[in-house]
Structure 1
Amino acid sequence: MKFLPSLVSVLSLLSLHPTLSSPLEPSASNDKITSLPGVLTSPDFDQYSGYVSVSDTRDLFYYHTTGPDESAPLVLWLNGGPGCSSLGGGLSELGPFFAAANGTLVENPHSWNKVANMVFLESPAGVGFSTSTDPDFYNTVGDSATAQDTLSFVKGFLERFPQYKDNDFWITGESYGGHYVPGASKAIVDSNAAGDSSINLKGFLVGNAWTVAEEDNKGAAQYWWTHALNSDETFEGIMENCDFTGIGPLKGGEEKLGRGHVAGKLHSNPTPDYEPCIEDYLEEYMNLESVQKAMNVRPGTKWTQCSSVVDYSYEDLLSSMLPTYEALIDAGLEMVVFSGDVDAIVPVTGTKNWLAKLGLEVKTPWTPWTDSEGQVGGYKVEYEGLTFLTVRDAGHMVPYCQPKRALDFFAAGLNGELGSL
């Protein structure tokens, strides 16, 4: 994904091409983005953004881009953190645009809305433009509240956009999305079983997923050692002395990993296609008054990539998601766990560690998969209940580091065609 070397700072606002065939609900009509500042090309899809109330005190902000047609799957994307904005995914990873210099947006040729209707949710309240009128929420929020608020959001979104109610619904995400994605999926499964909702949840895809603290942390130490990033003595000392169950990701915060660090230094391509300053560009863009007005943001809001007010539950951060996986396997959901193979933060070694703990039967053993250019895109294992897939030459943010390969397996996963890759 190459960025233009120089872009004008002031561009005409461009009208969007309507693609939805169903009449808009009044609330959806109010959320429609008629134009976005800094767009270089006129898009052939519709965009919406605004707030959905999930309680008397909490409103969650979303950004929605329509897909190739109204009947295409509806997909919710959740960035991790915990406490980082999914607009990072929407405007710097897998959405239709990438933030660029001087308040501009450039087209992403591998946007996931080429095959799905995409929704990017800022969650929990306190992240991005999402808000709570009860400040105590920011100090008490954890996985259960986040999952229930996501469930409430999906219900509210489908009321606002009823044309999607019968579509296949998927949840996707990365990093601490390893808790968010299966947690929200379980909340929906339970709600459907209780007769409180009829959300057509098909399954989920989650990448470089923080899942079991002990196994993911051990995996990070193993990855560093096997990639000659530390000595035998250091590795042995870590393994003998560290309490892997009592610490968060061995990285000092997702917001600090930076596309120019793990992804950049370990990437085998000497001239990578990504822009290392994209997070700075995105923060600048989201805080432009013209952008916030166009996206229906409430006045007076400062946007940051990762929240400084959310004090997320450390107990939940260290908890295991394996019981949730076991319940969702029993529920028959389609699940894809993908892993960029040069992520040193929540690496493939840790993911393989916790997958082994599930004790699933192997249906199709380790085998390469082929991307749309005929290259080895990575490797895959089909278990009874889920598919594990690696993405070659991808770091922590797979759609950012390998956008074409990410779109390849995403499209195949939605269509039940991972086995044919």
Structure 2
Amino acid sequence: MMLIDLKMIMEHCQGEDHMNPMNALCAQLMDRFNRLFEENSKPHILYKRCIYVSPRPNDDTTERKVLMEETGLLKHVPPRPQMECQSYGNYLLYFWANNNMTWETLGIKKGSMDEWVRCHNGDLPYSEDIKSSIQYHHNITTKGYRALVYSGDHDSVIPFLGTQSWVRSLNFPIVNEWRAWHLDGQSAGFTITYTNNMTFATIKGGGHSAPEYQPERCLAMFRRWISDEPL
């Protein structure tokens, strides 16, 4: 059913703003797709769907999810996910990062900065006026700088197919076609290399922030790349 919806979306939503489509049929299809898509964990499609740990709650039930004794410690109290959630570590990070001993150890003077938060969610004093950064990637890579582009193959926030699409849009000739790269005799993902010293690699089992989900594979990939060795 999802494949059928995607085919219809491609057919009826050409040229439409997918966030706010004017075409009635496109709007209906996108609404159906988004409702189905919300059933997944976006950072990693195989993981449990959990609360997004950010300083701005998305619903009115947040207060019930946060321990009362913790609310007095932070101005921007994040919602508390279940302990088995991948995001629970991000929740604990708020309390570690705002602990007085942490600030003293890092040499941060009291009053020099406000409370640390993980994601500001649009309240920073800047505007987003760059719709695409592809031209900047092109300008840098054509000057000979080596580039490693990697993507977790289980990420639905920025799927690897989307990353692959903008890499292809640079129109760099292929040097080495797709192949598996390995760790401990097992496939750790797939990789392809282009001219202008660009390498694109997928991380098997990786989510949105691939090193968070597959640290060993990501470390092996980076060590080989930084040492100018083939993956």
Provide TM-score, normalisation by structure 2.
0.66
The superposition leaves residues 178-218 of structure 1 with CA deviations (integer Å, 9 ceiling, x where unpaired) of xxxxxxxxxxxxxxxxxxxxxxxxxxxxxxxxxxxxxxxxx
Q: In structure 1, what residue type is equivalent to 2:166?
A: W
- For residues 298 and 229 of structure 1, do their structure 2 counterparts lie closer, same or farther at Cα, with a shift above 3 Å needed? farther
Paired residues for 1:54-73 under 5 Å: none
Match in the other structure for 2:118: 305
Deviations 1:51-104 (A, max 9, x none): xxxxxxxxxxxxxxxxxxxxxxxxxxxxxxxxxxxxxxxxxxxxxxxxxxxxxx
Which one of the candidate residues 334, 340, 350 is aligned to 2:152? 340
CA contact (8 A) 1:267 1:393 kept: no
Deviations 1:287-307 (A, max 9, x none): 111111111112143110012
Q: CA deviation at 1:377?
A: 0.8
Give the aligned partner of residue 170 of structure 2. Answer: 358
User: Is the CA contact (8 Å cut-off) linking 1:287 and 1:303 kept in structure 2?
Assistant: yes
Q: 1:327 aligns with which of 117, 131, 139?
A: 139
Equivalent residues in 2 for 1:174-193, closer than 5 Å: none
The SS at the match of 2:147 is strand
- Residue 44 of structure 2 contacts residue 206 of structure 2 at CA under 8 Å; is this kept in 1? no
How far the C-alpha of 1:369 sits from its partner, in A, is 0.4
- Give the total of aligned pairs: 174
Identical-residue share of aligned pairs (%): 24
Q: Aligned pair in 2 of structure 1 residues 284, 297: CA closer, same or farther (>3 Å)? A: same
Instruction: Tell me which amino acid in the other structure corresponds to 2:91.
Output: D
Matched residue type, 1:353: S
Q: Distance in 2 between matches of 1:245 and 1:359?
A: 28
Higher strand share: 1
Partner of residue 75, structure 2:
none
Query: How far apart are the structure 1 equivalents of 2:47 and 2:193?
Result: 27
**Structure 1 counterpart of 2:141, which letter?**
I
Shift of 1:261: 2.7
Query: Structure 2 matches for 1:249-398, cutoff 5 A?
Result: 261-267=41-47, 275-300=86-111, 301-307=114-120, 309-316=123-130, 318=131, 320-371=132-183, 373-385=184-196, 386-398=198-210
**Structure 1 residue 415, shift from structure 2 partner:** 0.1
Deviation of 1:274 (Å): 7.6
User: Cα deviation per residue 1:125-164 (whole Å; 9 max; x = unaligned)?
Assistant: xxxxxxxxxxxxxxxxxxxxxxxxxxxxxxxxxxxxxxxx
Q: Distance in 2 between matches of 1:315 and 1:331?
A: 25
Show the 5 A alignment for 1:198-237. 228=2, 231-232=5-6, 235-236=9-10
Q: Which residues in structure 2 correspond to 1:90-105 (within 5 Å)? A: none
* Map 1:62-211 → 2, pairs under 5 A: none
Query: What amino acid maps onto 1:410 in structure 2?
Result: F
Paired with 2:19 and 2:170, the residues of 1 have a C-alpha distance of 18
Q: Which structure 1 segments of 5+ residues have no match?
A: 1-224, 247-259
Letter in 2 for 1:339: S
Question: Matched residues in 2 for 1:398 and 1:342: separation?
Answer: 9
> CA offsets, 1:106-142, max 9 Å, x none?
xxxxxxxxxxxxxxxxxxxxxxxxxxxxxxxxxxxxx
Q: Is the 8 A contact 1:267 1:342 kept in 2?
A: no
Q: 1:362·1:382 contact (CA, 8 Å) conserved in 2?
A: yes
CA RMSD, aligned part only? 3.0
**Unmatched tracts of structure 2, length 5 or more:** 21-39, 49-83
